[in-house]
Chain A
Amino acid sequence: MTDLVSTIIAKYNYWIYITLMMIGLYAMIAKNNLIKKIVGMSMFQTAIILFYVSIGVKKGATIPILEYSHGHGHDTQLVVHAADYVNPLPHVLMLTAIVVGVATLGVALALSIRIYDRYNTLEEDEILTQIREEK
């Protein structure tokens, strides 16, 4: 039992990421307003990005910028210890994901503006009743 509790506490950040992701999923499914749904989608994306970036973190490591590079007169320090730097590969991948996420957000907001122009509301149930009445 204490083993389980210590496992949960040691991985607290993953539990909070999953909580954030489930809040976003709940908002996408259960919220009635289109803007709230888009906020939920954005939260879902950032929860996944948080998970991936947190994989690259190491204990006692610094940011991934080389301390002694070529041409600084430290020829004895040229060996790079990978354990001293956080892993930059997830950062680069997630940089792309952030930019794609903002593009998705822009398209979603533009579509919701068009929907508002057509139906004069942003609530999903009112839009659905208007579509049913048109038929």
Chain B
Amino acid sequence: MIWQLDLAILTLVVITGIGALMVKDLLGAAILFGAYSFMMCLLWSIMGAVDVAFTEASVGAGVSAVFFVAAVFRTTRRTKD
């Protein structure tokens, strides 16, 4: 495990997580959550957990981002916070 890369991607994970909670548009929140899941997938491949990494890439970054976009499409994009 390369700790410089680990720290850089952990910082990106925190930034995309805070961004997904702060943005005032639910579609943007869904996209930023997909980016968060992809950063998490990179983090797992750095840690040597390759099976968890490709499960996260397909299930986390793929399916749950699609679920979020579908739910936002069925409801509304507007949010107050």
Segment among A71-79, A98-106, A127-135 that sits at the interface with chain B: A98-106
Instruction: Mark out the residues of chain B between 45 and 80 whose CB falls within 8 Å of any chain A CB in the assembled complex.
Output: 47-52, 55-56, 59-60, 63-64, 67-68, 70-72, 74-76, 79-80
Complex Cα distance, B58 from A78, in Å, reads 34
Which of these, B1, B59, B70, contacts A98 with CB under 8 Å? B59
Which of these, B7, B26, B43, B48, contacts A61 with CB under 8 Å? B48
Q: Mark A71-104, 1 if CB is under 8 A from B, else 0.
A: 0000000000000001010111011001100100
Q: Report A-chain residues with C-beta under 8 Å of the C-beta of B80.
A: 32-33, 123
B81 touches A35 (CB 8 A): no
Q: Report B-chain residues with C-beta under 8 Å of the C-beta of A43.
A: 17, 20-21, 36
Which of these, B7, B26, B48, B63, contacts A35 with CB under 8 Å? B26
Q: Report A-chain residues with C-beta under 8 Å of the C-beta of B63.
A: 102
B14 touches A98 (CB 8 A): no
Q: A23-B18, A50-B40, A98-B56 are in contact. Are A36 and B49 (CB under 8 A)?
A: no
Pairs A–B under 8 Å by Cβ, sample size 19: A20-B13, A23-B14, A24-B17, A33-B80, A56-B47, A62-B48, A86-B48, A88-B51, A90-B49, A91-B49, A91-B51, A92-B51, A95-B52, A95-B55, A105-B67, A113-B74, A121-B76, A122-B76, A123-B80
